[in-house]
Amino acid sequence: MNILKNKPIQYILLGLIIAITPFIFNFQRGTLTMFNTVIIYSIVAIGFNILLGYAGQISLGHAAFMGLGAYISGYLTNMGIPFILSILIAGVIPMIIGLILGLVALRLEGHYLAIATLGFGVTIQQIFKEWTSFTNGYSGMRGQPASIFGFSFRSRESFFVLAIVILVLLSIFAYNLLKSKTGRALIAMRDSEHAAQAMGISLLKYKLIAFSISAFYAGIAGSLYIHLIRFIEPNQWGVELSLNLLAMVVIGGLASIEGSIIGAFFLTVIPDILKEIPMLGEIRNLSTILTGVSLILVIMFLPLGIARINIQIKEKLNNKNTKKTALNQ
């Protein structure tokens, strides 16, 4: 059973099982939409995690990259360009923009990327609102169902399969990348910038790689989003979404692909459940407040997130005095 220990094969098998569940059980359409968005946010979160968990950089503008992907893909498919090509372009253009923004902000100390991307997010959102010939402004943009070689992913079930295939592919890509030269360089950079530099690792180059990959993943997810919901408008892509993406990664587990997916799941499903609870559901923004509280609690007490909660508890019990965690050094 050695083959089951291979992570990519685990991803494929797990993806397969999850992809067929909607065909076995009868979920409501709303529930299926939610599952689909979990998958979409998982994709952004994996990319974001490469940036935050591995390269240690904060972005407050990933909602803008996701929005860009959504608008680009929506616009292109509405013009009759095939979905496959559109989704690729929807990933590549944010990646190039990320590369340019990164070239400016990543040369500097850590907090400058956060500030630059905060401004970037607000600015791009402004562009979404005002550049009506491209985005249709406040009226919003309608999207078409994704279709590949004539097969249309119109039903929620079929879209789920498509989204999972893309998630599995991107997870395997991220896994492979992080297990080779690039991943080692990123981890080296995080643990000791001096050692990394002395070993020939250009900090700027690897921060740029992480940032542009994360923008690519966000763009792909954005593209999937518009072909799932089939409607987007500028207000969705604000700093609130960027903060939520960050919370997914931190709460789920920094530097962990599984953590990204777990985080996306929790932050999408729990607010939905909360809404249903009587009394509690009445409180406006309860889920936002709870997300903020959990974000802070996790970063203080479980810096590796819920994905690796067992390891951390063990470690805490073993050596209460020496806290050795990924971020607290």
Partner 1 sequence: MNMFFQSIMAGLETGSLYALAALGLVLIFRTSDVINFAQGEMAMFSAFIAFKLFDGMKLPYPLAFLGAIVFAILFGFIVERVFIRPASKASLVSKMIITLGLIMIVGGLANALFGIDSHYFRKAIVADNMNIKGVVIQPNAIFIIAITFFIMAGLFYMINKTKMGIAIRATAQDENTAKMMGIPVSKVYSMSWIIATILGAIAGILIAPTTNVSTAMMGEVHLKSFIAAVLGGFGSFYGPVVGGLIIGVLDNLVGMYISLTWKTVIVYGLLILTLIIKPTGIFGKTHRKKV
Partner 2 sequence: MSILKVKDLSISFGGLKAVDKLSFEVKENSIYGLIGPNGAGKTTVFNCISRFYTPDEGKINFHPRDNKEYNLLDLKVYEVISKGLVRTFQNVELVKHLSILDNLLIGMHTTTKGGIISQGLKLLNVRKEEKRIRKKAMEVIEFLGLKGLENQLAGSQPYGIQKLVELGRTLVSEPKLIILDEPAAGMNSNETETLSKLIKRIRDEFNITILLVEHDMGLVMNICEEICVINFGKKIAQGTPSEIQNNPAVQEAYLGKGEVSC
Q: Other C-beta atoms within 10 Å of 211: how many?
A: 28
Q: Which helix H or strand E contains 47, and what residues bound it?
A: helix 29-49
Tell the smallest beta-carbon distance from residue 311 to partner 2 (Å).
Answer: 12
- Do the beta carbons of residue 322 and residue 278 sit within 8 Å? no
Residue 63 vs 167, nearer CB to partner 1: 63
Decide which of partner 1, partner 2, none touches 314; Cβ closer than 5 to 8 Å per partner kind. Answer: none
* Residue 104 CB contacts under 8 Å (≥ 6 apart), including other chains: 116
Decide which of partner 1, partner 2, none touches 85; Cβ closer than 5 to 8 Å per partner kind. Answer: none
Residue 155 vs 176, nearer CB to partner 2: 176
Residue 107 vs 316, nearer CB to partner 1: 107
Residue 21 vs 329, nearer CB to partner 1: 329
For 49, the token pair is: 């995690």
For 207, the token pair is: 């921060």
Residues that bind partner 2 in the complex, under the rule CB under 8 A: 173-174, 176-177, 180-182, 184-185, 187-188, 190-192, 194-203, 209, 213, 324, 326, 329
Residues that bind partner 1 in the complex, under the rule CB under 8 A: 52, 56-58, 60, 104-105, 107-108, 110-112, 114-116, 118-120, 122-123, 126-127, 130, 194, 239, 243, 246-247, 250, 283-286, 288-289, 291-293, 295-296, 299-300, 303, 327-329
Decide which of partner 2, partner 1, none touches 324; Cβ closer than 5 to 8 Å per partner kind. Answer: partner 2
First to last CA, the chain: 38
C-alpha–C-alpha distance, residues 180 and 192, integer Å = 18
Q: Which helix H or strand E contains 203, and what residues bound it?
A: helix 203-229
C-alpha–C-alpha distance, residues 56 and 250, integer Å = 12
